[in-house]
Chain A
Amino acid sequence: MTTQQIVPGRGGAADVAVPTPGAPGEPARRSARRLARFLRMVPVAPAVALLATFLAGPIVWSLYGSFTNAALTGKNASDPQWIGFDNYVKLLNDPVFPLSLWLTVLFTLGSAVIAQNILGLGLALVMQKANKQVSSTVGTIIVAAWILPEIVAAFVCYAYFSQDGTLNQLLAVFGMTGPNWLYSFPMLAIILANLWRGTAFSMMVYQAALGDVPPEITEAAMIDGAGGAKRLAYVTIPMIRNTITTNTMLITLQTLSVFTLVYVMTAGGPGNDSTTLPILAYKEAFRFSNIGYGTAIATVMLLIGAIFSVVYIRALRPSKA
Chain B
Amino acid sequence: MTTLAPPAPAAAPRLPVSVASPKRTVSGMMANAALVLIGICFLLPLAWLVLASFDTSATYQTRIPASLSLDNFTAVLTPELTFIPLWNSLVISVGTAAITVIASLLAAYPLSRYQARFNKPFMYGVLFGTCLPITAIMVPVYSLFVQFNLLDSIPGTILFMAAASLPMAIFMTKNFMDSVPVSLEEAAWIDGASAMRALRAIVIPLMRPGIAVVSIFVFFQAWGNFFVPFILLLSPSKQPAAISIYSFFGQYGAIAYGQLAAFSLIYAVPVIALYVLVSRGIGGSFALAGAVKG
Contacts from A to B (Cβ < 8 Å):
1-4, 6-8, 10-13, 16, 37, 40-41, 43-44, 46-48, 50-51, 53-55, 57-59, 61-62, 65, 70, 119, 123, 126-127, 129-131, 134-135, 137-145, 147-152, 155-157, 159-160, 162-166, 169-170, 196, 199, 201, 204-205, 207-209, 219, 221-226, 228, 230, 243, 246, 249-250, 253, 256-260, 264, 277-278, 281-282, 285-286, 291, 294-295, 297-299, 301-302, 305-306, 308-310, 312-313, 316
Give A160's nearest chain B residue, CB to CB.
Answer: B45
Q: A131 contacts B293, CB within 8 Å?
A: no
Q: A47-B104, A256-B133 are in contact. Are A65 and B45 (CB under 8 A)?
A: no
> Do most interface residues of chain A lie in helix, strand or loop, or is the interface mixed?
helix
Instruction: Return chain B residues, CB-CB under 8 Å to A199.
Output: 42
A-B contact pairs, 15 of them (CB 8 A): A16-B190, A40-B110, A40-B195, A58-B137, A123-B35, A130-B28, A134-B35, A138-B35, A148-B272, A166-B60, A170-B44, A253-B131, A294-B139, A309-B128, A313-B124
Q: B246 contacts A134, CB within 8 Å?
A: no
Q: A3-B178, A137-B39, A141-B39 are in contact. Are A51 and B143 (CB under 8 A)?
A: no
Q: In the assembly, what is the distance between CA of A278 and CA of B138, in Å?
A: 9
Give A242's nearest chain B residue, CB to CB.
Answer: B293
Task: Kindly name the residue among B112, B133, B134, B186 whose own CB sees the greatest number of chain A CB atoms within 10 A.
Answer: B133
Q: A58 contacts B35, CB within 8 Å?
A: no
Interface band, chain B: 35 or more
Q: In the assembly, what is the distance between CA of A223 and CA of B16, in Å?
A: 10
Instruction: Return chain B residues, CB-CB under 8 Å to A308.
Output: 131
Q: A170-B44, A223-B19 are in contact. Are A10 and B140 (CB under 8 A)?
A: no
Give B105's nearest chain A residue, CB to CB.
Answer: A43
Q: A159 contacts B268, CB within 8 Å?
A: no
Is B271 on the interface with A (CB-CB < 8 A)? yes
Q: In the assembly, what is the distance between CA of A156 and CA of B58, in Å?
A: 13
Is B74 on the interface with A (CB-CB < 8 A)? no
Instruction: Return chain B residues, CB-CB under 8 Å to A61.
Output: 140, 143-144
CB A220 to nearest CB in B, in angstroms, measures 9
Contacts from B to A (Cβ < 8 Å):
1-2, 5, 17, 19, 22, 27-28, 31-32, 34-36, 38-39, 42-46, 48-49, 52, 59-62, 99, 102-104, 106-107, 109-116, 118, 122, 124-125, 127-129, 131-144, 159-160, 162-164, 166-167, 170, 178, 181-182, 186, 188-196, 198, 220, 223-227, 231, 242, 245-246, 249, 257, 260, 264-265, 267-268, 271-272, 275, 285-286, 288-290, 292-294
Q: A129 contacts B27, CB within 8 Å?
A: yes
CB B220 to nearest CB in A, in angstroms, measures 8
Given contacts A10-B195, A201-B289, 18 further A-B contacts (CB under 8 A): A50-B99, A129-B31, A130-B31, A130-B35, A131-B28, A138-B42, A147-B271, A148-B272, A149-B268, A164-B60, A165-B61, A196-B45, A204-B286, A225-B17, A295-B143, A298-B138, A306-B132, A310-B128
Nearest 8 interchain pairs by C-beta: A12-B189, A257-B133, A309-B131, A54-B163, A149-B224, A138-B39, A301-B136, A47-B107
Instruction: Return chain B residues, CB-CB under 8 Å to A145.
Output: 42, 45-46
Q: In the assembly, what is the distance between CA of A48 and CA of B107, in Å?
A: 8
Among candidates A4, A196, A282, A302, residue contacting B115 with C-beta atoms closer than 8 Å: A4
Instruction: Return chain A residues, CB-CB under 8 Å to B135.
Output: 257-259, 278, 281, 301
